[in-house]
Amino acid sequence: MGLQFYDLAHLAFYFGVSYEAALWRLKALQILSEEERENLAQKQAAASAFRRVLGERYPAPRQRFNLRESTFQHKLLSMALEAYRV
């Protein structure tokens, strides 16, 4: 099925980078083809909306103080993303 825009938005949020930077990094790592990168780039508006929801629900990675809590939140969010795909 491949990566979806919400996967990229989550990665970008988690690592504190822009959606576009995450796209280019995954392309450089050869995880995404140029066609996949272009398709995901077209969904930047939806990704931005999703990232705003993340920002409202979860503290930014640099603001996290409790490692155990942030690990749980990351796992929970990952499971939610996987459930959303199914």
pLDDT of amino acid 21:
92
Cα gap 9→20, rounded to integer Å: 9
Q: Please state the separation of Cα 24 from the chain's center in Å.
A: 13
Alpha-carbon torsion (21, 24, 86, 47), positive or negative = positive
pLDDT of amino acid 1:
54
pLDDT of amino acid 59:
59
pLDDT of amino acid 4:
86
Q: Cβ atoms within 10 A of the Cβ of 67, count?
A: 8
Q: Which residues contact 55 (CB under 8 A, 6 or more apart)?
A: 13
| pLDDT < 70 regions, the chain | 1, 56-70, 72-74, 77, 80-81, 83-86
pLDDT of amino acid 79:
75
Cα gap 25→32, rounded to integer Å: 9
